[in-house]
Structure 1
């Protein structure tokens, strides 16, 4: 949760200064690199630091992108789009226990949930 708080403070101000799209890209790169490095860490201290960076990167993507969507969408459709924006996030939380059941080793699980983010960077 500390990473989410730090992400709000740092990336919120940064998105006002350099733009939302640049911050989303920066957060995506941070999320990919810290997620993949988490897979290969041996130290608990480094693991905690990398998870902090994962939370910051996730927040940069999620919160800043939400603000970008709300700025683009006009008045009446804002509520519907605000709710629809949350669907993939909720779907991911619902499917994660099933994936964790199938992949019991935490390193392989971390890798399995980190690799799809690379496609987001390619799409971006």
Structure 2
């Protein structure tokens, strides 16, 4: 009986890690584009919901004004990853809200919040905030 429990526990934790890893990979890939100044390209990788809220040009202008002055990322650590089925102002769906503690060259302590939505194309960004 203990063997079955251990095997079941192992299977469950493997599936959790796998499903958890998908949104982390998507977040890191998207953040790498933002970190390297590829703002228009980062917009292209957002969910349709995001693209309906802000144009590519406005996104580029906004990130240039907000993100560029922070300069390079020194470190980024995931401090929270929560699942949601609804978010204020967004349609019901599958969402992940990832919170990172980030240090930039010109801002030693910042909190980045990245919200992802599960779409037909996988996990895609619908929100990005720096505090």
TM-score computed with the length of structure 2 as normaliser: 0.31
* Larger strand fraction of residues: 2
TM-score computed with the length of structure 1 as normaliser: 0.32
* Larger helix fraction of residues: 1
